[in-house]
Amino acid sequence: MEKSLRVAYGEALARLGDSNPGIVALDADVANSTMSRLFQEAHPDRFYNVGVAEANMAAMAAGFASVGVIPFVNAFGVFLGTIGLLAARTYGSYSELGIKLVGAYAGLSDAFDGPTHHAIEDIAAFRALANFEVIVASDAAQMDWIVGYAASNARPMYIRLSREPMKAKYAPGSLFEPHKGRVLRRGNDVALIACGMMTDNALEAADKLSCDGIEACVVDMLFIKPIDEALILACAREAGAIVTCEEHSVVGGLGSAVAETLAAKGDVFAPQEFVGMQDTHAESGSYAQLQQKYGLDAQSIAAAAIRAIERKNRKKERT
């Protein structure tokens, strides 16, 4: 069953608001898009539409957090990672106030609105902010857990949502371990480390590879920061080749986080291929067409996996 993460998010936030009166929601006049309107309908006295003023909204959230209120800040990811970034840096990162920034329509999922609305730098921006956690949801059950985790944790966070429905990968009520990834499929030939929507594409790519006798491990890396270094290193040792899959620029996102881990902590050679936006903006178009054009689809991931395996084998031949 597929469900939009924004709907799952809005439902989870409204439900949690029933039992936790300390939660408030702020929105930049896009509540029908972010689905924070579901919280508004359930708890109108704790909902604040600040208008198209993302920087002010993040600063307001800091005021709430400073007195023990739990603020969820809702807008399109592209605007939280740009207009809202100064307030996030000052009040979340530097002041360590527990604001929860929820970026909807991330990646290329705001497809027809084009490059001004594509959020392909947001993970890199928030990864660079000290004290921030960065989380990318991949299905509705995981989204439900993330909302609860965020509300119970005092750290500032950026939570990334896609507009589009995602296939169910976890049972309702599933629990996750903070700062850990989740192995969705076992395989020893190559590891596909993905986040968000790209986990669906990675699983499809693993099916394609399996038809050719290649068994891929698929990892859902929901925490980009702090990242699960132990799991990355285990993938490098067991598979010997890695493909990172992200709906984001290959500069500064999931791929960079994995490469940094391998460079700083790794004790084995594991070639890495980077599937993502190759330092470019994307045009307007249907979501599926954009994924295919910019090499984010399952076929492109499978091709990257074969390249990574070939590099691994060449290294073995030389040694």
**Could you report the per-residue pLDDT of 227-265, keeping only the tens digit for each?**
999 999 999 999 999 999 999 999 999 999 999 999 999
Looking at the structure, do residues 136 and 271 belong to the same domain, yes or no? Answer: no
143, 9 Cβ separation under 8 angstroms = yes
Structural domain span for residue 13 = 2-167
Looking at the structure, do residues 151 and 281 belong to the same domain, yes or no? Answer: no
- Give which of 147, 170, 178, 245 is closest to 3, Cα–Cα: 170
Predicted local confidence at residue 315, as pLDDT:
81
Catalytic residues, by residue number, are: 54
106, 247 Cβ separation under 8 angstroms = yes
Residue 116 has pLDDT above 70, yes or no: yes
- 255-264 pLDDT, tens digit per residue, is 999 999 999 9
Domain boundary residue among 142, 167, 192? 167
Looking at the structure, do residues 106 and 187 belong to the same domain, yes or no? Answer: no
Looking at the structure, do residues 6 and 150 belong to the same domain, yes or no? Answer: yes
142, 267 Cβ separation under 8 angstroms = no
Looking at the structure, do residues 227 and 263 belong to the same domain, yes or no? Answer: yes
Residue reference for tokens 């984001």? 248
Looking at the structure, do residues 201 and 285 belong to the same domain, yes or no? Answer: yes
Looking at the structure, do residues 14 and 156 belong to the same domain, yes or no? Answer: yes
Predicted local confidence at residue 1, as pLDDT:
62
Per the structure, how many domains does the chain have?
A: 2
Looking at the structure, do residues 90 and 65 belong to the same domain, yes or no? Answer: yes
- Give which of 288, 2, 13, 6 is closest to 160, Cα–Cα: 6
Tokens of 299: 């076929």
Q: The CATH number of the domain where 289 resides is what?
A: 3.40.50.920
Domain boundary residue among 167, 201, 225? 167
